[in-house]
Amino acid sequence: MFVDMHSHLIPGVDDGSNSMNDTILLIQGLSRLGIKHFITTPHIMSDIYPNVGSNLLAEGEKVKQELKNRGMDVTFQVAAEYYLDDHFMGLLSKRELLTFGDNYVLFELSFMQEPPILQEAIFEMQSAGYKPILAHPERYMYYHNSFEVYENLHKQGVFLQLNLNSLAGQYSPHVKRTSEKLIESQLISFLGSDCHHLGHITLSKQVLSNPYLKDLISSDCLLNHTLIK
């Protein structure tokens, strides 16, 4: 995995990196795992992290300058992880979403229940020319006993992104098994670290020899490499 398309590496904007020093340490740690291209995706969540796209891009430029100053051989790009709510729908209607690659948009759902506007949001994103990527679908436990939901989303053209550390059992055994099943069913298109802190890098090291991870990386399903410009 040379491209990480889900992380929280901009200092001080969400629950990820707290400082520029933290950011550099995280990027160094991920680089040692073989990642050289970073598309970081800070939260945009109106109630908790009311970030504005233009501000995130400006903060990202500061990170890029620091990487350049240190002579670090990586690329760094800013997008976002959007929480699906009315605020997101407003940004979508104004076509003000941060994208990456071939007009991809990363979005997440509530961990409590499926939002009633999910199907509307998918339709509106696709109608506007965006390509929706659902972040860490394995973590939505309300889908675990309804696996056909994942299959239907995939058929609808929604790309599914797996968290690397889900295979390490970070979240729960149920999440781990769902991750494995999604890989077995060839439903995963993108892999991301979802890195917030150094503990995530430690877990990532543990999962590098995981047979499911090896199968996913060697498959034709994974599209991370297509994000390199």
- Nearest Cα residue to 203 out of 33, 3, 9: 33
4: left (phi over 0), alpha (psi -120 to 50) or beta: beta
Give all strands (DSSP E) within the chain, no chain letters: 3-4, 37-40, 43-44, 75-78, 81-83, 104-108, 131-135, 159-163, 188-192
13 half-sphere exposure, CB direction, 13 A CA radius: 30
pLDDT, position 170: 87
Domain edges within the chain: 3-227
pLDDT, position 60: 98
Q: What values do phi and psi take at 141, rounded to 5?
A: -65, -20
**pLDDT, tens digit (0-9, with 9 covering 90-100), for 193-217:** 999 999 999 999 999 999 999 999 9
pLDDT, position 1: 63
**pLDDT, tens digit (0-9, with 9 covering 90-100), for 75-122:** 999 999 999 999 999 999 999 999 999 999 999 999 999 999 999 999
Specify the residue for token string 């394995």: 138
β-pair partners for 105: 132
Cα separation, 84 vs 86, whole angstroms: 7
CATH T-level assignment (fold) for domain 3-227: TIM Barrel (3.20.20)
pLDDT average, residue stretch 46-51: 96
Question: DSSP letter string over 8-45?
Answer: --STTSSSS--SHHHHHHHHHHHHTTT--EEEE--EEB
- Residue 83 DSSP SS3: strand
Q: In what order do the strands lie in the sheet with 104-108?
A: 43-44, 81-83, 104-108, 131-135, 159-163, 188-192
